[in-house]
Amino acid sequence: MERCSLDRARPESTPLPLPFKIPGQDANCSYFFHNLQQAYSLGHSLSSTPFTHIYTSDLKRAHSTAQHVLEQQPSPHPPLTITPLLREQHFGVAEGYAWVMSIPEGTTREAMYDQKVFPVLDTRQEKFPEGESLDDIALRAEAAVRECILPHVGHGQGDGDEEAHIAIASHGLCISEVVAALVRLDPEADKTKSYRGLKNTAWARVEVNQRSGDATGLEVKVVKFNVDKHLDDMKDIPSRHENEDGASAEARAYFGGGAA
């Protein structure tokens, strides 16, 4: 039985001020030193886990995380493939503007849009003008699975006995959809389980096997999720944004896929 193991890491994100501004695919999303330390720590924790290939979003947040992992891999380094299929959700006209959890009484969504303030969308089908819905990301995630993952399933390295072990660096909402897309490929998997709410630089591990005697059937197991043990040694390092109130915490959850 050929196996493909996948580790997915959510990149470091900018600490969220209030009002929180939607990052999405904003190429200018900045970093703080604390975030870079998190990404370095992730790479160090995975340095003894040799990957056969690394895939990453082309957005700076994920690409930087992938570079930290790649640079600390044993030699020879695995190939790195950059693809826009692994980008975060595109929020259209809302990108870079203020984000709120709800619409205040006495106003409308349209009026808030006019003020460049964008309330969270409630369903998977809704999208901001010129942006993507969660259903749109799900379709993109399926394309990413076909391009980045399935070619490695059933094709070992060398004499065929060595399993593929790939790493994917993406973003909270996108990772949630990629994991869900993989699980949907297994007819016996529990498709009611949610894989949302990844913390900054936390990772998930998914094993994808071909079922014995079934050329097309896959067995998909999410064996680890939201692993952030690499951050244990950083607990004494102060963040530049220590005072997080409820809105900021909600923002972190939402853009980690936890409230989508």
Please give the pLDDT value at position 81.
Answer: 98
Q: List the binding residues for substrate.
A: 61
Q: List the binding residues.
A: 61
Task: Give, in order, the Cα–Cα distances in Å from 246 to each of 3, 19, 88, 123, 190.
Answer: 42, 12, 23, 22, 32
Q: Return the top range by mean pLDDT from 1-10, 19-28, 51-60, 231-240.
A: 51-60
| Spatial distance between the Cα atoms of 31 and 9, rounded to a whole number of angstroms | 17
Task: Provide the CATH number for the domain formed by 3-255 in this structure.
Answer: 3.40.50.1240
Please provide the average confidence, as pLDDT, over all residues in the chain. 81
Answer for the pair 109, 147: CB distance below 8 angstroms, yes or no: no
| Spatial distance between the Cα atoms of 176 and 181, rounded to a whole number of angstroms | 9
Q: Give the pair of three-digit tokens for residue 15.
A: 């600490």
| Spatial distance between the Cα atoms of 91 and 130, rounded to a whole number of angstroms | 7
pLDDT tens per residue across span 120-172:
998 999 999 999 999 999 999 999 999 999 999 975 544 555 689 999 999 99
- Packed helices 134-144 and 172-184: angle between N→C axes, nearest 10 degrees: 60
pLDDT above 60 for 247: no
DSSP letters, 69-96, are HHHTSPSSPPPEEE-GGGPPPP-GGGTT
* pTM for the predicted model, two decimal places: 0.80
Between residues 170 and 247, the one the model is more confident about: 170
- Residue carrying the six token digits 């992938």: 66
Sheet holding 203-210, edge to edge: 80-82, 53-56, 164-169, 3-9, 203-210, 218-227
Q: What angle do CA 129, 130, 136 make, to 5 degrees?
A: 100
pLDDT above 50 for 84: yes
| Spatial distance between the Cα atoms of 199 and 257, rounded to a whole number of angstroms | 9
Residue type, 170: S
pLDDT tens per residue across span 6-45:
665 665 544 333 345 555 555 445 555 567 788 889 999 9
Q: How far is CA 119 from the centre of its chain?
A: 22
